[in-house]
Chain A
Amino acid sequence: MTGMRLFAELVVLLGTSTKTNDKLEALTNYFSGAVDKDKVWVIALFSGRRPKRTVNSTQLTLWSLEVTGLPAWLYEESYHTVGDLAETIALLLPDQQDPVWSGLTDVERAEEDGSLSYYLKRLTEIGKEEEPIKKDFIIQCWAHMNKDERFVFNKLITGGFRIGVSQKMIVNALGRTTATSPSVIAHRISGSWDPAVISFSNLLSEEDAASNVSRPYPFYLAYALEDEPSALGNPDDWQAEWKWDGIRGEVIKRQGQLFVWSRGEELMTERLPEYQAFSNDLPDGTVLDGEIIGIQPAAGTSSSNQPVSPGNFTVLPFAALQTRIGRKNVTKKQLTEAPVGFIAYDLLEYEGVDWREKPLRERRAQLEQIVGNIHHPLMHISPIVKFNTWDELTGARQTSRDRGSEGIMLKKKDSPYQVGRKRGDWWKWKIDPLVIDAVMVYAQKGHGRRSNLYTDYTFAVRDESNDNKLVTFTKAYSGLTDKELAEVDTFVKRNSLEKFGPVRTVRPELVFEIAFEGIAASSRHKSGVALRFPRINRWRKDKKSDEINTLEDLKKILQRHGKGGGSNTEGSA
C-alpha cells in the first residue's frame, strides 16, 4: 500500500473511531508501519503544523468544476450540505475508473510517488511554478487517487486536520512505538522544527531536543471544578489565583534570546515586541508560564522608568488582545492603544534546569523573585487570592468579573508541573456566565459532524424603543444536545421564511438562554455590543418570543461589565 493510502486509511479510522483506545491503536499501528519520512509529517500535521499554502481553495474549486463540468451554484449547494471544502471536492470528483480521467491515470509514477512526504514535497515545490503547472499536478494527483485519498490530499492543501486527535494522543502513540515516556516525547515534538528537513530519529532524539534554544515545555492544563471546593480538603494545601481571560503562553530566555510561545504551539515573539523589554532582567535559562493579556498600566506607571508596585494593574478585555494577535507587524499606535502584558504564574526552567518536578510552593517563591526583578508595567506576578476557609474563597470568587477575571484557579501547593490536562492538582473554578434570553432569527448549516444540519444560529433581542423590532446581537454554535439540534433543525426546515445563500431566516419563535463570558461595545454589530464566548445555555421552551430580553437589558449589562476589565490593586502574597 502506498504511503498516501496508508495515511488516508488512518484518517478514516480516526474520523470514525468513537473510543480513545481505538484511535490510539490506529495511530500506534500507523507509526509502526509507515516510513519514517511520512511519520514526521503526520506528527507535524496532527500537532497543528501545516505546510505552506501553494494552491488556494478558489483554485481547487475552479479546477474541480472544470473536471466535473458542474455549474458553480451546484458546487455551492453541495458545499453547504457537506460543510467542508476538501471533502466536497473529493466527493464531486469522478472515480478513478471513470472515463473523464482517461490518459491521466496511466501517468508513469516514480517509486517514491506514493508516499505522503512525496506529495507534500511536490506541493511545496509547485509554489514557485506558474498556475498551469500547479493545475496539471493537482488534477493528475486527483486522477490516480481514491475518494479518501483525495480528501486527505485536499486537506493537506487547504490546511487543518481537525479530526479529534489530541496532541496527547499522538504523544502516547509515539511513546508506545518508541518505548519512550510520553512527557519526554511531548517536549521533543514541541517548539519549532521543519518536517521537510528533520528526520524521524533526529526529531525524537535527545541531542536535537537540547540544541533547540526556543523549545517550550508542554503546558499543564486544569480541569473544571464540578464539585464544591470543600471536597478538595484542607484550604491550607491550596493556592488560589485569578483565572485570566487571555492566551496561555510561555516566555523563554535562553542563550541571550527571548521567545514567546502560545498554547497553540505558535511562536509569537515578533507579535509581542513589548516583551523584549523583559529580556535584560530575565536570567538566562528561564522559562515562565503565564497569561498573555492586554494590560493597561495603572495610573502613574505608564512610563517604564517608574517603579511598579506588584499586582497593581488593570487587564483589558479580550477584544483588545484580539486586535493584536494575528498581526505579524505591529504599529506604534497599536502598541499604545492595546498594550499586551504577561501575568506570570509558574516557573518551568531556572538556570537552565527543568524545575517541573519541584513542588509549586518552591517554584512560586523563585518566580516571585524573578518577576520582582523585572520592574516593568507589563510584567506582573499572578496575584494570590488569600483565603482561610472555602466560604471566604467563594465570596472572593464573586468579585472575579469586576477585576476582569473569569474565576479562580486552584493549585495544590505541593504539586509538580505536569503534562497536558490532568485531574487532581489543578482546577479551574469559573464564575457563572452572564445570560440573556433571545430568539433565534437566522440559521445556517454547520460543518464537520454538524454538516447538513442547521446548527449555526443568529439571535435577536427586542428593541422596545423601536416598536419591539428584533435586533440581532450574536451568533452561537454550541450548547444544544444532538437531540435538541435535530429538533431545531426540523423547526428550521419547516419554518424558514427566506433563503439568502446558505442562510435561512426563520419564524422568530424559538427562545434560548444565551450565556457569555464578557461583553464589549462594538460598532460592527447592529446591537452595538460584541459578546465573548457566546453559547446556548438552554432552550427556553417555557418562554414565548415576546418574553425575551430587550436591547435595553443588553445595554445595562454592557454598562455594568463592559468597561474594560477591572483593576487588581491588592498586593501579592
Chain B
Amino acid sequence: MPLIEFTDRGLYCPQGGFFIDPWRPVDKAVITHAHSDHARAGSNSYLCHRLTLPLLRLRLGDHHYQAVEWGESVTINGVHVSLHPSGHIIGSSQVRVEYNGEIWVVSGDYKTEDDGISGIFEPVRCHTFITESTFGLPIYNWKPQQEIFSAMQSWVTKNKEAGKTSVLIAYSLGKAQRILPPLSAVSDRIFLHGAVWNVHQVLLNAGINLPAVEKVDLDAPKETFRNSVVIAPSGTEESPWIRRFQPFEVGVCSGWMQVRGNIRRRNADAGYALSDHADWKGLLSAIKATGAERVYVTHGFQAALSRYLNEQGIQAAEVRTEYGEDEEGTSAAADEPQNITP
C-alpha cells in the first residue's frame, strides 16, 4: 500500500486516514495553504499552519481547525505529519508524511525565491515528492524580484507624472501583499479593492507587519484616487468598478505575463512576470534537493516536466488533480488529455 494514494477526492494517506488538500469534503484534511483550489469547505477537521488558520476562517467559515508551527510533528494514527515552509504565500507549507521510515512530501504550491513575507522554501529530504508544475516549461525563468519591482516603480512614477492612477491587478492573497512594500516606496496613498482589503485585515490581526493602506471607498469623489496606486484582484479590470479611477493605467502581476501574447490578451498597459510559483529552474532545483527516488507531478505542465525528469534519470509520473483552477493556476490547469492515470 503506497503511503499516499490518488483518489477522486484528493491525495489520501490510508494509513493515517487523512487527506491533503482534498477537493471534496472529507473527515480529516491537512491543508497546504489558503488558496481556494487547495482549501475547500465542508470537511470535518482541518490541520494547517498557524498563519493559514485565520485565512481559512475568513474563506471557509467556522470549522474544527488545528494549527501547527513549521517543523512541529503531529502523529495521526501512527503517521508522523509535519509542515515545512513552501515560500508560496503567507502560511503556505509543504506536508511531510512519515511512516515506518518511509517519507513522502506533498509540495502544495511553492517558489524558491525569498519574497520576504511567505517564509523561505525549505528543501525536505524524502523518498517520494509530489510537486506542482504550474510553470513547468523552460520558457518560464523569472527575473530577480528586485528588477521587476524597479520596473513597476518607474511605471507608477511615470503614471503619476502623467496625472494617472496606477491600477495593479494582483491575487488578493499573496501577490497583493508582496508588492505593497515596493509600491509604498513610490506612492503616498495605496488603495485596496474590498477583496484585497479583507485579506489585509486578517493578516494585520494575525500580527503580520504590512505597509499602510486605505480601502477603496465607493462613495469617495474621483479626485481621491488621482495619481495614487490601486490594488485589485483579477477580473476587476474588465468591470465598471475600475472606471472610477479614470484616467488610469492597468498593470498585471502574474507569471503568465512572461509571454507577450498574454499581456496583449489581458489588454494590460503593462505586464509584470512576478509569480508566487517556482520557475523551471526553481522546480528542478527543488526536486533535486529532496533527493527523492520518485516524483509525482501535478497541476500545470505535468506531462513536460515528468518526461524531462525521467530523461534526467529521476523516476517521475503525472497525476491529475483538481488544483490550479483559480488564482495563478488557471491558464495551464488541466492542460492534458483526460485519459492519463498515475
Binding site for B on A (CB under 8 A): 15-18, 22, 68, 70-71, 73-74, 77-78, 81-84, 87-88, 91-92, 95, 151, 447-453, 482, 493-499, 504
Contacts and interface: CB of A to CB of B under 8 A. Distances in A.
A496 B304 CA distance: 17
B269 to A, nearest CB: 6
Nearest to B265: A449
B263 A16 contact: yes
Interface stretch (B17-25, B182-190, B328-336): B328-336
B99 interface: no
A87 B261 CA distance: 10
29 contacts: A15-B264, A16-B263, A16-B268, A16-B271, A18-B268, A73-B307, A74-B137, A74-B138, A77-B137, A78-B138, A82-B261, A83-B259, A87-B260, A91-B140, A91-B141, A95-B141, A151-B260, A450-B261, A451-B259, A451-B260, A451-B262, A452-B256, A452-B262, A452-B331, A494-B338, A496-B336, A496-B338, A498-B337, A504-B337
A65 to B, nearest CB: 11
Contacts of A87: 259-260
A482 B265 contact: yes
A148 to B, nearest CB: 10
A84 B268 CA distance: 20
Contacts of A82: 139, 259, 261
A450 B307 contact: no
A83 B264 CA distance: 13
B216 to A, nearest CB: 22
Contacts of B301: 77, 81
A88 B139 contact: yes
A-B CB proximity, top 3 nearest: A451-B261, A449-B264, A91-B139
A63 B175 CA distance: 37
Nearest to B333: A493
A350 B334 CA distance: 64
B298 to A, nearest CB: 15
Contacts of B100: none
Contact of B139 (A81, A482, A497): A81
Contact of A78 (B137, B264, B307, B311): B137
Interface of B: 137-141, 256, 258-265, 267-271, 301, 304, 307-308, 311, 331-339
B214 to A, nearest CB: 27
Counting chain B CB atoms within 10 Å of each CB, which of A71, A493, A498, A504 scores highest?
A493
Contacts of B271: 16
A16 B270 contact: yes
Given A68-B138, A71-B311, A448 B261 contact: yes
B311 A81 contact: no
Contacts of B311: 71
Given A73-B307, A450-B265, A499 B337 contact: yes
B337 A83 contact: no
A449 B261 contact: yes
B265 A494 contact: no
Contacts of A494: 334, 338
Contact of B334 (A18, A493, A498): A493
A453 B271 CA distance: 18
Nearest to A71: B311
A293 B137 CA distance: 47
Contacts of B140: 91
Contact of A453 (B265, B337, B339): B265
A452 B268 CA distance: 17
A151 B304 CA distance: 24
B337 A496 contact: yes
A276 B46 CA distance: 83
A74 B308 contact: yes
Nearest to A87: B260
B313 to A, nearest CB: 14
A206 B220 CA distance: 57
A482 B264 CA distance: 11
B304 A497 contact: no
Contacts of A449: 261-262, 264-265
Contact of A92 (B139, B269, B332, B336): B139
A153 to B, nearest CB: 15
Contacts of A88: 139
Given A71-B308, A84-B261, 20 more contacts: A15-B263, A16-B268, A18-B267, A22-B269, A70-B138, A73-B307, A74-B137, A74-B304, A78-B138, A81-B301, A82-B261, A83-B259, A91-B258, A151-B260, A448-B261, A449-B262, A452-B256, A452-B261, A496-B337, A497-B337
A7 to B, nearest CB: 16
Counting chain B CB atoms within 10 Å of each CB, which of A78, A83, A504 scores highest?
A78
Nearest to A12: B260
B264 A448 contact: yes
